[in-house]
Amino acid sequence: MRIRQAAGVAVLVAAVATMALLSVPYWNNRALEEDLAELAGRNGRADWNEERWRVAALNVAARHGVAAATAEVKVEPRTGGTRVEIRYQKNVDLFVYTVRLHLRARSGS
């Protein structure tokens, strides 16, 4: 009976640790989204071309440690301002397995 309890506790601890490791990239993505929203809010009415928006978005992503390519940045002009979206991948090393998360940070809705 003690072996089963110990195994159950070990599985529970592993599940909590996995959840903690996987939550970090999502929290970082949320911070990146907030900074993109700030960028779009600050410069939404500016007469920037798409390339300037891409460079500004890539600079924000670089400050967050996200290595995104220019092709992964989508700029969508709207009447209320410009919407910027960055798609990127983040590898998370779990104990014996690597998970590749496909994340998207965007300004606005």
Residue 1: the pLDDT is: 77
pLDDT tens per residue, range 82-105: 899 999 999 999 878 899 999 999
Residue 94: the pLDDT is: 85
Encoded amino acid at 51, one letter: E
Q: What is the DSSP secondary-structure string of 57-89?
A: HHHHHHHTT----GGGEEEEEETTEEEEEEEEE
Q: What is the pTM of this model?
A: 0.82
pLDDT tens per residue, range 17-54: 989 989 999 999 999 999 999 998 888 777 888 999 99
Region class of 46: left (phi > 0), else alpha (psi between -120 and 50), else beta? beta
> In Å, what is the CA distance from 79 to each residue of 17, 26, 82, 106?
45, 30, 8, 17
